[in-house]
């Protein structure tokens, strides 16, 4: 039993039994004629009936207030609910908004004793800077502010043209996107090096990238992914 519960039980015993006992004892004082009386069974029944009625009233009031409070919370959650949707995927976007970039890269390989290793590495990273960008535009289409918006994870699941390229994500997650107000947007940029698309004989390329974006409402009660 918790100490808090034990304290409540002791207080209830004092109110229901100890205090009435002393009240009854005070009515037996012979020195004051007006107080010379003794509680009967009817008096005790009236007293505990009044106490029971007060307890029932308080319980009913507590239940009502708790219901109203829960209902108000649900109404607020609906009234100010953010809804974050992927509204567009563009190759170019110039709108002013919060931006985060996720680079798709693959490691640099060279033999340990290659005398041109340094030059090759410089050329390699120059090629990695020449990218094709894809803008994932997320828009808050709800009725309330989206807070603690975060790119929780991003991973490459499938590459159909080069399974041995060992592509990896050149960004650390989670990545905060801050807050997105109603009708405002956020941009997650997926950057792919053009060097990846130099293979001949292919008309299209397919790569699967999984992203998990999470956000909460302004009351921090309804976190979603």
Is the torsion defined by CA of 18, 20, 25, 29 positive or negative? positive
Whether the predicted pLDDT of 104 surpasses 70: yes
Per-residue pLDDT reduced to its tens digit, 29-51: 554 555 555 556 566 667 667 77
- Please, what is the average pLDDT of the chain? 76
Q: What is the pLDDT of residue 31?
A: 46
Q: Mean pLDDT across the stretch 173-202? A: 80
Q: Mean pLDDT across the stretch 208-225? A: 84
CA proximity to 129, closest of 185, 220, 190, 195: 195
Per-residue pLDDT reduced to its tens digit, 48-71: 677 777 778 888 888 888 888 888
Integer Cα distance of 147 and 120 in angstroms: 44
Tokens 């940029």, residue?
189
pTM (predicted TM-score): 0.63
Whether the predicted pLDDT of 22 surpasses 80: no
Instruction: List C-alpha distances in Å: 111 to 28, 79, 115.
Output: 106, 62, 9
Q: What is the pLDDT of residue 39?
A: 57
Q: What is the pLDDT of residue 209?
A: 84
């Amino acid at each position: 039993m918790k100490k808090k519960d034990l304290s409540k039980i002791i207080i209830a015993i004092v109110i229901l039994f100890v205090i009435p006992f002393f009240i009854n004892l005070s009515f037996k004082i012979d020195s004051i004629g007006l107080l010379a009386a003794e509680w009967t069974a009817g008096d005790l029944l009236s007293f505990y009936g009044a106490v029971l009625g007060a307890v029932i009233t308080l319980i009913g009031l507590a239940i009502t207030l708790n219901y109203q409070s829960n209902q108000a919370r649900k109404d607020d959650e609906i009234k100010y609910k953010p809804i974050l949707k992927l509204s567009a995927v563009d190759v170019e976007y110039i709108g002013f908004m919060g931006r985060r970039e996720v680079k798709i890269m693959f490691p640099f390989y060279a033999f340990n004793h290659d005398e041109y290793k340094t030059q090759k590495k410089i050329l390699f990273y120059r090629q990695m800077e020449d990218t094709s960008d894809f803008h994932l535009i997320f828009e808050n289409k709800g009725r309330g502010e989206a807070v603690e918006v975060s790119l929780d994870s991003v991973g490459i699941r499938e590459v159909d043209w080069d399974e041995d390229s060992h592509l990896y994500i050149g960004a650390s997650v989670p990545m905060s996107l801050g807050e997105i107000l109603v009708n405002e947007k956020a941009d997650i940029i997926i950057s792919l090096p053009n060097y990846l698309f130099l293979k001949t004989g292919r008309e299209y390329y397919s790569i699967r990238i999984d992203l998990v974006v999470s956000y909460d409402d302004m009351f921090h009660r309804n976190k979603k992914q």
